[in-house]
Chain A
Amino acid sequence: MSTHIAGHTAPRGGAEHLGTEGFQEHARQALQDAPLQQALQLLVTNFVPRRVAAMAALGNAEELRTEARAIKERTMARLDEYLEHFATQAQRVGVQVHWAHDAAEARQIITGIAQHIGAHVIVKGKSMATEEIHLNPHLEQHGYEVVETDLGEYIIQLAGETPSHIIAPAIHKTRQQIATLLHEQLGTPYTEVIPEMTQIARRALREQFLRADMGITGANFAIAETGAIVLVTNEGNGRLSSTMPRVHVAVMGMEKIIPRLADLAVMLKVLTNSATGQKISSYVTMLTGPRRAHDLDGPEELHVVIMDNGRSAILRSANREALYCLRCGACLNVCPIYQNIGGHAYGWVYPGPIGAVLTPMFTGLDTAQHLPRASTLCGACREACPVKINIPHLLLNLRQQLVERHDASWAERVLFTLWSWIMRHPRLYEAVIPLAALAQKPLVKQGWLSRLPAPFAGWTQSRDFKAVAARSFRQRWQETLQHERPVMYGTTPEKGLAHE
């Protein structure tokens, strides 16, 4: 197992994301990647059943999800007002609020703060928002030492990779791979015992917390009513990152706003139960301003960077509800495609079903064409989503946009034009069926075909295809069925039939 880290054949994301155009190839490699396949088993054996059990134990999960969605709907309908209200309230308690139009501006603001306070070492809590703006490489280029402190993030930082899951960034790695990584990167004795491995990471990270002069985290929620930001974590690193260094910077997408403190009760419940199957996470940290005069600890400065980075456009689009996402990862866990190919194949920050919706909207439909299309629209994601985002329908919207922008293959265009013509002309349709039955004849074996021509050849790579029936239904209808009559109900004593 230990040799699988270096020179790995599967897509691993590196420090830079892979890009979405190579989706097919990444997916193929992932399917062949034995350790990845082994690691992904955890979704089925652990993540999914834990969420299902936790939601069932709630007793009112359905009502909570409905309520959580309603909160999101209300918020998004008047997002500008809530954002302003949040900013006002946050500033009132001493928070420095920054607005970033795009990723570049967000990076600039954050490096600006680091420069201003003369930072050297920056510790980070887990944050998808900072992944989205590729913050770490940027900070490193500017000479800052950046240390991820979430265990999963720390592991992939040591490996020089990117997260493959929204809440379990190193899920693509097996325990043995991680053991080797820690041994090689930290020079500690090799161990596969999980408590020993976490101790190794803990010791290494504690030193970093003591050295750090700046902490960067995300924010799970920002409460307009109080100006507080909320961090939901399990390892305590979020609390250390936000309170030990002199300066704390929280980076958030502007959709993280919730109107009232009372809303948090609902949102927290659906978030932690959906994400990890926990009633509540080990830590919920509510930060209302930096250290006050009489406080014993806490940062001297608290900055909140509120990021648009494409969200306004989503808000105005037919796919607005994509902004309801809480980043719980539940849709990834249940997705039969994610379960098979993992997160890196998706090529960008957000993988899985919600990633297939968000990525094209954040990075442009041109380069992410595969993502909306690589779905069976099975709807398992929607069923798991704590705010009931109708992901399959959003994917259908994106597919429509792709076609409208002429991003469909020539073959597909011809095919559907032809298809539509045939389907609108029943006589033609009726004439085509026997022709197809005739044409296939030399290839049919016991009613099945083992090879189809392009562009359908993909099917018969691993499956046979049903041959066109010798007599279609409409033929059978014409010949026999239309002459058959229903039994007169109540007059024919048919055995065991039809009792209420």
Chain B
Amino acid sequence: MTRLAERPRPSRVALFVTCLGDVFYPEVGEATVRLLHRLGIAVDFPRGQTCCGQPAFNAGFRQPAKDVARRNLTLFANAEYIIVPSGSCAAMWRVFYPELFADDPVLGEQAEALAARTYELAEFLVHVVGVERLGAVFHGKVTYHASCHLLRELGVAEEPRRLISQVEGTELVPMDLAEQCCGFGGTFAVKYPEISDAMLQKKIASLKRAGADTLVSCDAGCLMHIAGRLRRQGETIHIMHLAELLNASSATDVQTSKP
């Protein structure tokens, strides 16, 4: 995170809520907005946004991915900060947009510039805003699942844990396979369901060993995958996006996605 120079606290950001967040987990985007508001940061939501292009990109369909991504270059051209509450989608913007447009001098430059202003939520809070304690209250035993793109494409490892450990009433417990893939992998989960599920079962076994009642992660994709299996098995472990946890308070009724 050395690219972050000393800068004044941001006053305005643009939110890229991600298609998964928009359609399946609107409460994550909602929590993100309120969280940023509580920090005194105004949030824009460019209406024309849809997807980052990752599903097509990961499947090898670069042209459709490019077509979708190009819209975001324009749509967010004037945003000082782009906040993405997903490690995976943030990695698409940060790592793969510059690669996708590398052969185009104009778009390539735009993509680079955009990438430099794009942040996943946890890293934005810790490194740009410079806060770890957000006044959240949540009573529970929480463990953290490190989503792969956040951890290994963006190198964000400890930031979410630091944020979690500052939540009042929350005990952060370690999970032995915290940094092992849950087997989601986008279309992988559909194309190779048996392998995907074998990976997921190991994840869930590790989650149970951790003895937590709530699993927190920074990616709706992983959360949906893990929660989908927990629900099928009839487990009672709660699943929560980091934004939801950080926005939880004793006063508000926290919406958790119960499996």
Do A and B bind? Answer: yes
> From residue 153 to 202 of chain B, which have CB atoms closer than 8 A to chain A?
153, 168, 180-181, 183-186, 188-200, 202
Q: Would A498 and B195 count as touching, CB distance under 8 A?
A: no
Q: Is the CB of A494 within 8 A of B38?
A: yes
Contact residues of B: prevailing secondary structure: helix
| 15 contacting pairs across A/B (C-beta < 8 A) | A27-B192, A340-B195, A378-B152, A402-B60, A403-B60, A416-B64, A420-B65, A436-B23, A463-B232, A464-B231, A469-B25, A481-B33, A489-B40, A490-B40, A499-B131
CB within 8 A of B148: which of A379, A456, A496?
A379
Interface centre among B135, B194, B200 (most CB of A within 10 A): B194
Contact of B135 among A24, A383, A484, A494 (CB under 8 A): A494
Indicate if A115 sits at the interface (CB-CB under 8 A). no
Q: If A464-B232, A472-B22 touch, does A377 touch B199 (CB 8 Å cutoff)?
A: no
* Residues A399 and B59 in contact in the complex (CB < 8 Å), given A336-B181, A424-B71: yes
Q: With an 8 A cutoff between CB atoms, is B30 at the interface?
A: yes
How many Å from the CB of A24 to the closest CB on chain B?
Answer: 7
Select the stretch in A164-172, A271-279, A304-312, A368-376 that faces chain B. A368-376
Contact flag A462-B42 (CB < 8 Å), given A416-B59, A473-B21: no
A139 close to B (CB within 8 Å): no
B190 partner residues in chain A, CB cutoff 8 A: 455-459
Q: 7 more A-B contacts (CB under 8 A) besides A399-B58, A477-B33?
A: A375-B185, A380-B148, A408-B61, A448-B231, A465-B224, A482-B45, A494-B135
Taking the complex as formed, is A116 at the interface, i.e. its CB lies under 8 A from any CB of chain B? no
Contacts of B65 in A (CB 8 A): 420
A412 at the interface (CB under 8 A from B): yes
Closest chain-A Cβ to B59's Cβ sits at a distance in Å of 6
- Chain B residues with CB under 8 Å of A477's CB are 29, 33, 45
Residues of A within 8 A of B24 (CB): 466-469
Interface membership of A187, Cβ < 8 A = no
- Expressed in whole angstroms, the minimum distance between the Cβ of B133 and any Cβ of chain A is 6
Interface residue count on the B side (C-beta < 8 Å): 81
B47 at interface, CB cutoff 8 A:
yes
- Assuming the A-B contacts A423-B51, A459-B190, are A399 and B60 also in contact, with contact meaning beta carbons closer than 8 angstroms in the complex? yes
Contact pattern, B 193-228, Cβ under 8 Å of A = 1, otherwise 0 = 111111110100000000000000000000011011
Q: Are B60 and A497 in contact (CB under 8 A)?
A: no
Cβ B148 vs Cβ A378 within 8 A: yes
With a cutoff of 8 Å between Cβ atoms, the chain A residues found around residue B229 in the complex are 462-464
Pairs A-B, 3 closest by C-beta atoms: A489-B40, A376-B185, A399-B60
Question: A433 contacts the other chain (Cβ, under 8 Å)?
Answer: yes
Q: Which of A399, A461, A499 contacts B133 (CB 8 A)?
A: A499
Known: A340-B199, A424-B71. A396 touches B194 (CB 8 A): no
Contact B68 A423 (CB under 8 A): yes
Q: Are the C-beta atoms of A375 and B23 separated by less than 8 Å?
A: no
In the complex, what distance in Å separates the CA atom of A376 from the CA atom of B40? 38
Asked whether any CB of chain B lies closer than 8 Å to the CB of A193, the reply is no
Q: Which residue of B lies closest to A471 (CB)?
A: B26
Q: A463-B228, A497-B39 are in contact. Are A420 and B168 (CB under 8 A)?
A: no
**Docked-complex contact A420 and B68, CB < 8 angstroms:** yes
**Smallest CB separation, B245 vs chain A (Å):** 15
B141 within 8 A of A: no
Asked if B9 lies at the interface with its beta carbon under 8 angstroms from chain A, I say: yes
B198's partner among A31, A399, A417 (CB-CB below 8 A) is A31
B26, B45, B199: the one within 8 Å of A337 (CB): B199
CA–CA, A436 to B17, complex, Å?
19
Q: How many Å from the CB of B165 to the closest CB on chain A?
A: 14
Q: Which residues of A are found within 8 Å of B195, using beta-carbon distances?
A: 27, 31, 337, 340-341, 374
By beta carbon, the residue of chain B nearest A495 is B135
A420 near B193: Cβ-Cβ < 8 Å: no
A66: which B residues are within 8 A, CB to CB?
A: none
Whether A485 sits at the interface, judged by CB under 8 Å, is yes
**Distance, CA A378 to CA B181, complexed state (A):** 6
Which residues of chain B are within 8 angstroms of A448 by Cβ–Cβ distance? 228, 231
Could you tell me if A459 and B193 are in contact, using CB atoms closer than 8 angstroms? yes
Could you say which residues of chain B place their CB within 8 Å of the CB of A336?
180-181, 183, 199, 202
Please, how many angstroms separate the alpha-carbon atoms of A403 and B66 in the complex? 14
Could you say which residues of chain A place their CB within 8 Å of the CB of B134? 496-498
List A contacts of B21 (CB < 8 A).
473
A497 to B129, CA, bound (A): 12
> A490 to chain B: closest CB distance in Å?
7
Q: How far is the CB of A366 from chain B (nearest CB, A)?
A: 15
Q: How far is the CA of A469 from the CA of B64 in the complex (A)?
A: 26
With a cutoff of 8 Å between Cβ atoms, the chain A residues found around residue B198 in the complex are 31, 340-341
How long is the Cα–Cα vector from A419 to B51 in the complex, in angstroms?
10
> Is the CB–CB distance between B64 and A419 below 8 Å?
yes
Structural contact, A373 and B56, CB atoms closer than 8 A: no
B59 touches A500 (CB 8 A): no
- For residue B130, CB closer than 8 A to chain A, the reply is yes
Cross-interface CB contact of B232 among A404, A462, A487, A494, cutoff 8 Å: A462
Per-residue interface assignment for chain A, residues 359 to 403, with 1 indicating a CB less than 8 Å from any chain B CB and 0 otherwise: 000000000000001111111101100000000000010111111
Q: A240 to B219, alpha carbons, bound, how many Å?
A: 54
B117 within 8 A of A: no
Which of B26, B131, B225 meets A463, CB within 8 Å?
Answer: B225
